[in-house]
């Protein structure tokens, strides 16, 4: 009798709990959270990537929810909580996220027909600054904070290679990399660290005359900004996302979505592609990933 009562209690208490748990798992799997690092201001990021989220929703049979962050610190706080299932990282964030948070790269951007990007130091053409040595004592603006791959890490490596220590110039930060180019144009800083591709962004060209700026020095060519998924993501889901994103370049709707994201394609990528990034980060920050 006691055994019968025990089974009844187990059925009424344990089984509903298991059903609830399984339902929660199913619900979680029905939503793929797509997190975007703050390369651009928040509203511009939403405008650029919401069409992609909607497109992927239509292609993979699951809702893709866009996650946008106000700055680099907020983004990284979210990633430490592993809020994103599909994440658009910069190169530094990826190698750090791969090692510490178990994210695996599977795609990278192609922009203006190239899947390569390099850091650069820019100044105004009329600044009188013609060599990196001229930057001693000058204010250099970096965008997005010390996590910014091109604007801070790549730019810092350029300066170090040419014998400039951080104590040799005045360091300041803008909220994101594009803001640094605008600040230099407006003479709010003597120089800026940027990804050279920033000078081609429509949001920049609409606000300043980029022909008044010049590249003082360039860094090594690196693989482009990347897309990664949680290591534990269902492989079929990850493959559907990958196939859909690669296929965007093949039809008119897809090309419009790419244009909003200021990309010309998404192309396959592997972790090994980012070994050069690891070298640059070691030289600039003395961090190993």
The tokens of 84 are what?
Answer: 């994103």
pLDDT digits (tens, 9 = 90+) for 112-121: 999 999 999 9
Three-state SS for 222? strand
The answer to whether the CB of 274 falls within 8 A of the CB of 108 is no
pLDDT digits (tens, 9 = 90+) for 222-271: 999 999 999 999 999 999 999 999 999 999 999 999 999 999 999 999 99
Q: What is the pTM of this model?
A: 0.83
For residue 8, pLDDT beyond 70: no
**Mean pLDDT, rounded, of the chain:** 91
For residue 6, pLDDT beyond 60: no
The tokens of 122 are what?
Answer: 């820019």
Assigned architecture for domain 10-112+223-274? 3-Layer(aba) Sandwich (3.40)
Q: Which CATH class is domain 119-219?
A: alpha beta
Helices (H) and strands (E) in the chain, counts: 10, 13
pLDDT digits (tens, 9 = 90+) for 135-145: 999 999 999 89
Q: How far is CA 11 from CA 26, 68, 81, in A?
A: 22, 43, 35
Taking residues 24-39, what's their average pLDDT?
76
Q: Looking at residue 29, what is its pLDDT?
A: 56
Taking residues 55-84, what's their average pLDDT?
97
Helix, strand, coil share of the chain (percent; to 5): 50, 25, 25
For residue 9, pLDDT beyond 70: no
Taking residues 64-90, what's their average pLDDT?
97
Return residue ranges of the chain for CATH 3.40.190.10: 10-112+223-274, 119-219
Taking each helix axis from N to C end, the angle separating 275-285 and 91-101, rounded to the nearest 10 degrees, works out to 100
CA dihedral 128, 132, 138, 140 (to 10 degrees): 110
Q: What is the DSSP string of 30-94?
A: HEEEEEE--SS-HHHHHHHHHHHHHHHHHHHSSEEEEEE-SSHHHHHHHHHTT--SEEEE-HHHH
Q: Looking at residue 53, what is its pLDDT?
A: 98
Taking each helix axis from N to C end, the angle separating 91-101 and 72-80, rounded to the nearest 10 degrees, works out to 20
Band (30; pLDDT cuts 50, 70, 90)? confident
Taking residues 150-162, what's their average pLDDT?
96
The answer to whether the CB of 122 falls within 8 A of the CB of 204 is no
């Amino acid at each position: 009798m006691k055994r019968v009562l025990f089974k009844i209690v187990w059925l009424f208490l344990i089984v509903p709990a298991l059903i609830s748990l399984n339902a929660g798992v199913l619900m979680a799997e029905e939503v793929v959270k797509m997190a975007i690092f703050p390369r651009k201001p928040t509203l511009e990021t939403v405008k650029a990537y919401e069409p992609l989220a909607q497109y992927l929703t239509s292609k993979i049979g699951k809702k893709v929810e866009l996650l946008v962050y106000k700055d680099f610190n907020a983004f990284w706080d979210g990633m430490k909580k592993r809020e994103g299932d599909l994440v658009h990282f910069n190169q530094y964030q990826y190698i750090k996220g791969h090692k510490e948070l178990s994210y695996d790269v599977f795609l990278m951007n192609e922009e203006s027909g190239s899947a390569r990007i390099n850091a650069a130091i820019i100044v105004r053409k009329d600044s009188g600054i013609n060599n990196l040595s001229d930057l001693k004592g000058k204010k250099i603006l970096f965008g997005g904070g010390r996590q910014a791959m091109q604007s801070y890490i790549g730019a810092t490596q350029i300066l170090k290679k040419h014998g400039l220590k951080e104590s040799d110039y005045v360091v300041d930060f803008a909220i994101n990399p594009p803001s640094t180019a605008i600040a230099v144009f407006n003479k709010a800083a003597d120089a800026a660290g940027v990804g050279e591709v920033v000078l081609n962004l429509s949001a920049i060209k609409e606000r300043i005359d980029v022909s008044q700026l010049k590249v003082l020095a360039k860094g090594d060519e690196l693989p482009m900004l990347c897309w990664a998924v949680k290591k534990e993501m269902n492989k079929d889901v990850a493959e559907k996302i990958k196939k859909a994103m690669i296929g965007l370049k093949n039809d008119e709707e897809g090309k419009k979505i790419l244009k909003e994201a200021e990309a010309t394609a998404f192309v396959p990528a592997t972790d090994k592609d980012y070994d050069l990034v690891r070298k640059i980060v070691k030289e600039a920050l003395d961090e190993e990933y």
